[in-house]
Amino acid sequence: MASVRLIGGRASPFVNRVQIALNLKSIDYEFLQEKFGSKSELLLKSNPIHKKIPVLIHEDRAICESLIIVQYIDETWTSGPSILPSDSYDRATAQFWAAYIDEKCTPNLRALRAAKGEEEKSEASNRLFEMWILLEEVLVKRSEGGKGFFGGDKIGYVDIALGCSLGWLKAMEKLLGVKLLNAEKTPELVRWAERFCADDAVKGVIPETEELLEFSKNFIPKVLVS
Amino acid sequence: MASVRLIGGRASPFVNRVQIALNLKSIDYEFLQEKFGSKSELLLKSNPIHKKIPVLIHEDRAICESLIIVQYIDETWTSGPSILPSDSYDRATAQFWAAYIDEKCTPNLRALRAAKGEEEKSEASNRLFEMWILLEEVLVKRSEGGKGFFGGDKIGYVDIALGCSLGWLKAMEKLLGVKLLNAEKTPELVRWAERFCADDAVKGVIPETEELLEFSKNFIPKVLVS
């Protein structure tokens, strides 16, 4: 049995975060695919509180919650590139933005997915735009003119936190026929998204739009995906 | 000007977390009291995203979000007692429980405070009981027979995360005339709460019930606090 196992599902951005962190550190792991709509014995045993993916199992000990897992990976495999900054103030700042992204990004993408009618759709997409505008400013400052990542010249904690939503963002753009990330309003973020998706640690992790749209038929109202 | 300043309010459990962490590390700091219902220029400048207390200002740099601040304090002043465990798996576990407490404790205390009618009150108090029962199990395991704290033989990250709600818990018990933390159902937690409140780092930080009830007149429906 592999010493590192990941209980997950390919379409989950939270699982993708862990996959990217493991790739950045060049760690071999076994991927244990959960079936949509059911929960394995191992998942229920490993995360009895929330019963949610992802769960990382390292030497038979379970670690839950995607951002906590990413931090655990960074602290456990120190020989690879650092994911969190070494300076404690920079680390606190990265954690602040990752928490902000968790609070704003996925909830608004979900709200967009579940929106009934134009008003709800427009509210959720406006809240996403507010987030992008703010993160564009942060990115420009952090990456010295937009040449790199939130983590500087390489993918870091905030990049992982945000970047994993790009797959669903593109899927929602296609589904709804709207542009959710806009090169006119947030040009650096658009370039950052391209750089992020082209990185060796990310390629092949975040599913393509078609795969996510197929997957989304499980839970998005039929009127949208028919 | 002090090199460590804390923008806060005495009645906020999130601010109390930071105060206790600073006390544990024996750090002198200036407390900048925010007035209820208004926000100072310094707060708006230091936490422009959320505009919320607490904010720690250390050497003119602002750190926001209570649990992130506690971690920052632990990493910055390493000569005092450790707040987070040094082992990365134990650290991930402590972060997991602190996140669980943030998700369950304050939201349900707030729901209890805002409850209209017996049904809503009973739902929120049942959710709190579920949390206590679970945390009782964790405490018994972690503190080797209930002799200490979630952090072992001294106050740690999870103790700080949970303990700061004890003031409001007692205030709500008095206000509603119900027992929310019950010595019959969760005896170890009741003993832990006494130990926590009696600790030198905590004494004088969490306001007394009467002070919180007086403060609560600002926002609890008049029917409850008249």
Q: Cβ contacts of residue A222 below 8 Å, gap of 6+? A: none
Inter-chain touch B92–A71, beta carbons under 8 Å: yes
What is the ipTM for the molecules in this complex? 0.93
The predicted-structure confidence for A66-88, as pLDDT tens digits, reads as follows 999 999 999 999 998 999 999 99
C-alpha distance from A197 to closest chain B C-alpha (Å): 28
Pick the residue of A95, A100, A101, A104 with the most B CBs within 10 A to test the interface with B by mutation.
Answer: A95
d(CA B63, CA B77): 15
| CB of B27 closer than 8 Å to CB of B77 | yes
- Two structure tokens written together for A86: 């070494």
The verdict on a CB contact (< 8 Å) between B63 and A92 is yes
Query: In which order are the strands placed within the sheet that holds A30-33?
Result: A30-33, A4-8, A55-58, A61-64
The B residues from 66 to 85 touching A (CB cutoff 8 Å) are 68-69, 71-72, 75-76
From B72, B92, B96, residue closest to A92, measured CB to CB: B72
pLDDT score at B226: 43
Higher pLDDT, B73 or A117: B73
Q: Which amino acid is at A114?
A: A
Chain centroid to Cα B2, Å, comes to: 25
A139: tokens are 């990115």
What would the two tokens of residue A52 be?
A: 């949610």
DSSP β-ladder status, A30-33 and A4-8: parallel
Q: Is A218 buried (19+), middle (13-18) or exposed (0-12) by CB count in 10 A?
A: exposed
d(CA B76, CA B78): 6
Cα–Cα nearest to A113, from A60, A63, A169:
A169
Q: What is the mean pLDDT of each run of 10 residues along chain B (226 residues)?
A: 92 97 97 93 96 97 98 96 96 97 91 87 90 94 76 94 96 89 93 96 96 84 51
Give the contacts of B95 (CB within 8 A, at least 6 positions apart): A65, A68, A71, B84, B157
Nearest chain B CA: its distance from A208 CA (Å): 31
pLDDT value at residue B73 = 98
User: With an 8 Å Cβ cutoff, is A58 touching chain B?
Assistant: yes
The whole model's pTM is what? 0.94
